[in-house]
Amino acid sequence: MAKELEKNYNPAEIEPRLYEKWVANKYFHAEVDRSKKPFTIVMPPPNITGQLHMGHALDNTMQDILIRFKRMQGYNALWQPGTDHAAIATEVKVIEALKKEGIDKEDLGREKFLERVWDWRREYGGKIVNQLKKMGSSADWDRERFTMDEGNNKAVTEVFCKLYEKGYMYRGSRIVNWCPVCQTSISDAEVVHEEQDGFFWHINYPVVGEEGRFVEIATTRPETLLGDTAVAVNPEDERYKDIVGKMLKLPLTDREIPVIADEYVDKDFGTGCVKITPAHDPNDFEVGKRHNLEEINIMNDDATINKLGGKYAGMDRYEARKAMVADLDALGLLVKVVPHKHMVGTHDRCKTTVEPLVKPQWFVKMSEMAKPAKEAVVSGKLKLIPERMDKTYYNWLDNIRDWCVSRQLWWGHRIPAYYCQDCGETIVSKETVCTCPKCGSNNVKQDEDTLDTWFSSALWPFSTLGWPDKTEDLDYFFPTDVLVTGYDIIFFWVIRMVFSSIEQTGKLPFHTVLFHGLVRDDQGRKMSKSLGNGIDPLEVIDKYGADALRFTLITGNAPGNDMRFYWERVEASRNFANKIWNASRFIMMNIEKADITGIDAAMTADVDAAMKQYGFTLADKWILSKMNDLVQEVTDNMEKFELGIAVSKLYDFLWEEFCDWYIEMVKPRLWDDADETKAAALWTLKTVLTTGLKLLHPYMPFVTEEIFCTLTDEESIMISKWPEYDKAFDFKADEAAVDKIKEAVRGIRNVRTEMNVAPSRKASVYVVSPKEDIRAIFTASKNFFAMLGYANEVHVQADKSGIADDAVSVVIHDAAIYIPFAELVDIEKEIERLTKEQTKLEAEIKRASGMLANPKFVDKAPAAKVEEERAKLQKYTETLEQVKERLANIAK
């Protein structure tokens, strides 16, 4: 008794059950196996504060497609999962939770606070992992890692110490991006530059000793005036050569500052005079270094003015701005205020305007490490998909600055640096330092800061496999193969992994980076909390199933391109799953109508002999040949990471060619007890369905698993063999023959639709062709052609003898189809239809003739293109003659 599927496809019941089966059977787990070639992907670790969003859904669907594909191809496939400690985001969450209990972070103390963070992580940190499992992610959860686990901490400490020993890690007072809300430094990559409406405040600085003479500067941040230590002009600017070296009275203060000459100043921009505030502007900082200027920080960590601000001390930076502008106006030093749009740096997490401040921080020197990272892409050893990402990659590396890696947070990898409080010695060590090696003092304190979250993430491809220890996993699974990620974190993560891996292991972390775009709403807007347009993937899964969501996210997807989310597309994806389900049920309900057990062995021995033995028909060979081509094309597309193209071909084949055409073609054979080709039809149905399910599995893992395991005796589609192209199933002549029949059927259906003829109304169909091979095709296919063409009988003949003059015609290349049902036809409409067809064909002939008469086209176009146009012209000409003949017959 054949197994059967449930009547209705129910993802809510199927998906959790199958996922439990996969996990229980360890199908996702990979161990070192030297007899197999490894294929490794590392999961971009989602934040433990995270909730699954559409970006995660797309990212993990793409990775799962690749890992399932490679697993079926026989690779030892490892998808290494894990989560990120998300220093700033997590610390903020826990601080907020403590506030609700009336507890202050500082009062709790570092150790007690970290205990609370770990408690929070244990309670909420696994939430997003469970959500990824609902997506069907086949990651090796037995190997799940966390960026703050012991092994990763060991790797982070190792790298910090190695970089320090090499001189690449240093501590210094340099200008950093400071977030006044999160009260920590952040890297350049975490600063988002947004265009904002602002102003240029033009201010006069009096020249000392020259009553009534001023230097006019223009600034977008007048509050930083309190930290000015010079005004700069271009050395080539004739207007100001005489005041270089003179002193200016700094307004609102009792200080005097010099006028200096520096090529940094653009003499054609603004007034040509630039205030220099080394402690509050990165460019001014560099000018200050060149001219040995004092760095005066006039701001507290919360962006209020500090005690150096005189009467403005304690004011918020914007409050101080307002007060200072008013005072400058009262002193007659405010020249004018000009509206000005400019780019303002904001923290990508909290959206606060970043304040550049000079702070003692830890930095990584980037100049040397950037070189091999760039060369990797230039040489082609590292491939970025799409290729246009190369430019972005190069641009960032060419302009890279030293990376500020210290963060003023408690949650994170603590910096392994110790300071002797007596002699001032700095000790960087993998082990805890209690005694100063220089003076012997026990008064040693560890640095309070932690490392940038991205510092540990940069080591992810190799730290997760055991580095710095020389593990077997590391030796076998590293370097990894492909990184799948969004284009928006190329700076944060991708580039940092590349230079970190080269520096620490001497190898690239992966050979390919596949970038995907953002998932936007149906209006093309970025999904965000503020717009309220975010769509919860779990809601989609609950309503339509994970397969439908996955299929939707990949359909039409092109590397690096943003995509829009439409609910209608999810419904269409669910309908596709239903279509496959119902087709599978039909096949299983009929599978025992003939014995197909011997066909596999016969096919293995000799395909041609087996086909003759079991009476395989034109239709069988057509679909098997189409399927064979599909296997080759889909495999090729997936190897090239063209996931959207591959799934589009799969959809078209399974829905149209297999379900809409082939299944309909074989129904008469299944229903005819005397048909001796029934076994061939059933074997073909099962073979094509099984192959199609395997090709579809990476995209829609649940529905394919349920059908496959019901249809076959195999344990799981996940561990079944990926289909391969077989030259023995290349039946191009049979493909062309069935395509001819399909052309005729489409023509008949179009004509009947135009004339509103009900499908239930059958009629005689005459196929007329002077060509014997064309007649042979239709003769061999009478049984299914009759059903598809709504015919009660099919006549195939060389001429029009015996066909009524009022017959409606369908003209195809090399043949004409006649249907004598004049009582259903308005002859005038038929003349109108044929006249339109004649006009259309004449236009096409004129176009093709014009192209072929053009020497530029004939001489310069590819030979194949020219030949294609010649073939079209011949086809149009022959078809036009048939249309004219039909019109003449109707006229008679």
608-630 confidence digits (pLDDT tens): 999 999 999 999 999 999 999 99
Q: Are 497 and 458 in contact (CB under 8 A)?
A: yes
**Kind of pairing between the strands at 334-347 and 191-206:** antiparallel
Higher pLDDT, 627 or 107: 627
The closest of 738, 788, 739 to 759, measured between CA atoms, is 788
- pLDDT of 124 strictly over 70: yes
Integer Cα distance of 406 and 434 in angstroms: 22
pLDDT of residue 822: 59
The closest of 151, 137, 133, 121 to 77, measured between CA atoms, is 137
Reduced to 3 states, what is the DSSP secondary structure of residue 651? helix
Q: 118-122, 191-195, 249-253, 735-739: which has the minimum mean pLDDT? A: 191-195
Q: Are 79 and 501 in contact (CB under 8 A)?
A: no
Beta bridge partners of 215: 205
pLDDT of residue 252: 94
In this structure, what are the phi and psi dihedrals at residue 262, rounded to the nearest 5 degrees?
-150, 135
What DSSP letter does each residue of 212-261 carry, written as one string? T-EEEEEES-GGGGGG--EEEE-TT-GGGGGGTT-EEE-TTSS-EEEEEE
Q: Are 424 and 436 in contact (CB under 8 A)?
A: no
Integer Cα distance of 507 and 504 in angstroms: 8
480-501 residue pLDDT tens: 999 999 888 888 899 999 999 9
Token pair listed for 601: 């062995």
Overall average pLDDT of the 748-777 stretch: 87
DSSP state of 726: -
Helices and strands (H, E) in the chain, number of each type: 31, 29
Alpha helices (runs of H) in 506-566, residue ranges in sequence order: 537-544, 546-554
Integer Cα distance of 166 and 179 in angstroms: 30
pLDDT > 70 fraction of the chain, expressed in percent and rounded: 98
Q: 157-161, 598-602, 866-870: which has the minimum mean pLDDT? A: 866-870
pLDDT of residue 188: 74
pLDDT > 90 fraction of the chain, expressed in percent and rounded: 72
Token pair listed for 871: 């073939």
CA 153, 154, 157, 158 torsion-angle sign:
negative
pLDDT of residue 491: 81
Beta bridge partners of 191: 347
Three-state SS string over 34-52 comes to: CCCCEEEEECCCCECCCCC
383 is in an annotated binding site: no
368-414 residue pLDDT tens: 999 999 999 999 999 999 999 999 999 999 999 899 999 989 999 99
In angstroms and rounded to an integer, the radius of gyration of the C-alpha atoms of the chain is 37
Question: Taking each helix axis from N to C terminus, what angle separates 546-554 and 701-711, rounded to the nearest 10 degrees?
Answer: 120
The identity of residue 663, as a single letter, is I
pLDDT of residue 892: 63
566-602 residue pLDDT tens: 899 999 999 999 999 999 999 999 999 999 999 999 9
In this structure, what are the phi and psi dihedrals at residue 635, rounded to the nearest 5 degrees?
-60, -45
640-672 residue pLDDT tens: 999 999 999 999 999 999 999 999 999 999 999
Question: Alpha-carbon dihedral of residues 438, 439, 441, 443, nearest 10 degrees?
Answer: -60
Q: Are 34 and 726 in contact (CB under 8 A)?
A: no
Averaged confidence pLDDT in the chain: 92
Q: 79-83, 148-152, 339-343, 510-514: which has the minimum mean pLDDT? A: 339-343
**Kind of pairing between the strands at 406-407 and 426-428:** unpaired
Measured from the Cβ of residue 229, the count of other Cβ atoms closer than 10 Å reads: 22
pLDDT of residue 135: 96
Overall average pLDDT of the 839-860 stretch: 91
Token pair listed for 792: 């009660």
Overall average pLDDT of the 126-149 stretch: 95
Integer Cα distance of 426 and 333 in angstroms: 48
CA 679 from centroid of its chain's CA atoms: 44
Beta bridge partners of 485: 515
- pLDDT of 884 strictly over 60: yes
Token pair listed for 221: 């941040």
Size (the chain), residues:
892
